[in-house]
Structure 1
């Protein structure tokens, strides 16, 4: 039974509502907002109906948004509906724009109230389903990364296929941003544990004093601030997979406990004596040399050898540049899934710059600069002006290194024609300072033809005003 709470000065307005809806809804009421907040905190209704005059009084010293924030702090996820007389309808609409879900006009009619509640419920359900579908689409599309053109990555995926179905511990190594998290999730998805939990632990982000508690849990009173028992990540993971990222940062006591889990399948919570059995599969990752840490006496050698049962080294993006066009397409599809824009492609000049760039931040850097450009872009193609300048300071790669052998001859000719057209128009527009008539005359085409070509290549005349030197 849904809980409804009304905040209004005139209780007689509720009589018909209560008589009509008491069998369907649990209805409470109050005359003051301050007193109602305490009731909302305790009863947690799904909907609160507030008289517009009470809202106006509460917002007199702040704003409607501030009032709604106060209500949501007391009762998260509650839907606020404004009740107003017809004369204040325009103000009610304004309040909806400020954060209320909907409004009703006096006199209150049970059928209208049902309609408002049902529409909010349906909208919430639709949004939840859309978020779920978006997440499912991304999870499925994410594994398109398996279709690699890089020999190094093909070797990595062969290793993953071989180890996924086993119980063996896996150690992932590689530079920051090279895809260790994705690889760990992939191993889990391909394993016999795919229907169990996948738990990530970012060891480097947890303070040294809390790393044991986070991983193995603690008992009430184990240390200052331990006001109740807490389950650790190993206990939560159950029979699933636990991914220990930045494993080289964990403390010596945590290393000892982790070694015990791997060797004996047992651990105990901080401050506890009870042995807890673990059947979790461990995948660890590091971007630093664990063997060197062992030599420096900063990491236990016996733990290193236990973790290094099946090592997988991920190549940096600069060593698998043949995958960049596909990665860019994948990330663009992801952005289109989660946002309202419909951006079709990445400009050829941007792809050329991608192939020449050294990518110190690896795949994560590629994804981040694509997202930044996506936010700034106002056309259907990601253009050079929305990317960092340093991306275009690298010398362009020789043509032979950028040829995609998977293209047909016709497709390759079309692609290269586009590149040549772009460079030619870019040079002429720069030379003519963006003047359309002069550029068209120099190119031997009409201004209409020039406009079509500029639109095709996302060239904007304002970008060429007062330029003295051509762009690379």
Structure 2
């Protein structure tokens, strides 16, 4: 650790660091956090000492976390050590929870400071070793994807790193929109089959009468409309990977055939007698409670145990809020390439609303609302009025903001309609406890129309069941 930054307006703090550890070279002192962040952006520091009083310990953890993440963003290996009075332990742990690495009490001893520095050096050494191993495993185009500040998400990536090179069956568990399809592809592209086919099948989107033919194929004349032989997805995915999303929707009549494939790789086409074989690696995904489906008799117990060989549970976005800035930046870079608009980031009120929002549609909802706002935005920053009303609690700002005048009548009307539809559907499902048929009947639309609107606005019926 060569470059050291001291954030303090008190001469005794600066002296404390310099005197107790004189071998610290290239040591810079500033008296306020904004100045420290600016210095750190210009030329990142390795070790940062900060007086506890520099932080607002009364504010929410998320706000202090954002400040600390700003230091980490410019140097992920930077270590922040707090200097705190002995009577401020609670406030100190508040900041440790927000992302600070360690603390020493004031007044401190040379031994205490040296112990904190040694611990930081060990952490950095360990992190460098892990980064070396990760960077030599993950392909370059996926490095942004596997970046996370959340311990739960890091554990997910470590499990994928462990299982990807094997042929083990994987079960991805998580709410709608958490990125199960993306992680299935991540697993495939880091397996020994990466140059072979990756075939994705959304089981819930295929009717019960067609799903067997889709997965296993059919012979000519097997049923009305089968005018020629068709290869199933398991044949097409031979030697590669097949991803079966929403496995909980597979009908019981087909579960026994899927079980046979898992046991020995054998199956036959619909209407055929020939036994075929596949060695496709299978990745399953579901947002359903499979154990509950087993208990209710909707999912075979023997199939459940075959499917759940290597389960990976993906945390929802509301439980990994510390990843919001990174995800937002990644999506904005993607949108900039697609639409070529000079939009630099979020208005501060939007960033604050993002932190407080529940994200029922998870990462997919984040990507969708950013793209919608990006298309509507006329300035160089995404403003609150271009986001759904239930996400932005700043109604006054939405009306008063000058860029609202830039909208055409059609654009303004569309925003109002979408905001109204989202609120209407949420109220409807709340009253009917998430029951689709009853809600659709009350709204005088078909269940299919209601489901389409729910998918459009990332609204899940599970959130309204009691």
TM-score of the superposed pair, with normalisation by structure 1: 0.54
Query: Any residues of structure 2 matched to 1:50-449 within 5 Å, and which?
Result: 143-393=143-393
Q: 1:324 to 1:141 in 2, by over 3 A?
A: farther
Q: 1:344 to 1:141 in 2, by over 3 A?
A: farther
Unaligned runs of 5+ residues in structure 1 are 1-138, 396-425, 435-457, 464-472
How far, CA to CA, are the matches of 2:315 and 2:394 in structure 1?
A: 21
Q: Secondary structure at the match of 1:242?
A: strand
CA deviations over 1:309-336 (Å, ceiling 9, x no partner): 0000000000000001111111111112
How far, CA to CA, are the matches of 1:377 and 1:255 in structure 2?
A: 48
Query: Any residues of structure 2 matched to 1:449-460 within 5 Å, and which?
Result: none
Aligned partner of 1:118 in structure 2 is none
Runs of 4+ in 1 over 3 A off after TM superposition: 139-143, 458-463
**Equivalent residues of 2:156, 2:314 under 8 A apart:** yes
Q: 1:256 to 1:459 in 2, by over 3 A?
A: same
1:270, distance to aligned residue in structure 2 (A): 0.4
Q: 1:462 to 1:230 in 2, by over 3 A?
A: closer
How far, CA to CA, are the matches of 1:394 and 1:339 in structure 2?
A: 27
CA deviations over 1:141-167 (Å, ceiling 9, x no partner): 565121100011011111111111111
**Equivalent residues of 2:174, 2:316 under 8 A apart:** yes
**Equivalent residues of 1:265, 1:277 under 8 A apart:** yes
Q: Secondary structure at the match of 2:288?
A: coil
Q: 1:460 to 1:248 in 2, by over 3 A?
A: closer
How far, CA to CA, are the matches of 1:269 and 1:462 in structure 2?
A: 60
How far, CA to CA, are the matches of 1:337 and 1:153 in structure 2?
A: 27
**Equivalent residues of 1:238, 1:278 under 8 A apart:** yes
Name the Cα RMSD after superposition.
Answer: 2.3
How far, CA to CA, are the matches of 2:296 and 2:323 in structure 1?
A: 37
Highest Rg: 1 or 2? 1
Q: 1:140 to 1:350 in 2, by over 3 A?
A: farther
How far, CA to CA, are the matches of 1:240 and 1:357 in structure 2?
A: 39
1:263, distance to aligned residue in structure 2 (A): 0.3
Q: 1:322 to 1:349 in 2, by over 3 A?
A: same
How far, CA to CA, are the matches of 1:282 and 1:243 in structure 2?
A: 6
**Equivalent residues of 2:238, 2:279 under 8 A apart:** yes
How far, CA to CA, are the matches of 1:319 and 1:364 in structure 2?
A: 15
1:394, distance to aligned residue in structure 2 (A): 9.1
How far, CA to CA, are the matches of 2:357 and 2:394 in structure 1?
A: 6
Q: Secondary structure at the match of 2:373?
A: helix
1:461, distance to aligned residue in structure 2 (A): 9.3
**Equivalent residues of 1:357, 1:394 under 8 A apart:** no
Q: Secondary structure at the match of 1:283?
A: strand
How far, CA to CA, are the matches of 2:140 and 2:224 in structure 1?
A: 44
Aligned partner of 1:75 in structure 2 is none
Q: 1:198 to 1:320 in 2, by over 3 A?
A: same
How far, CA to CA, are the matches of 1:461 and 1:247 in structure 2?
A: 45
How far, CA to CA, are the matches of 1:461 and 1:359 in structure 2?
A: 25
**Equivalent residues of 2:194, 2:240 under 8 A apart:** yes
How far, CA to CA, are the matches of 2:394 and 2:269 in structure 1?
A: 53
Unaligned runs of 5+ residues in structure 2 are 1-138, 407-466
**Equivalent residues of 1:141, 1:330 under 8 A apart:** no
**Equivalent residues of 1:142, 1:330 under 8 A apart:** no
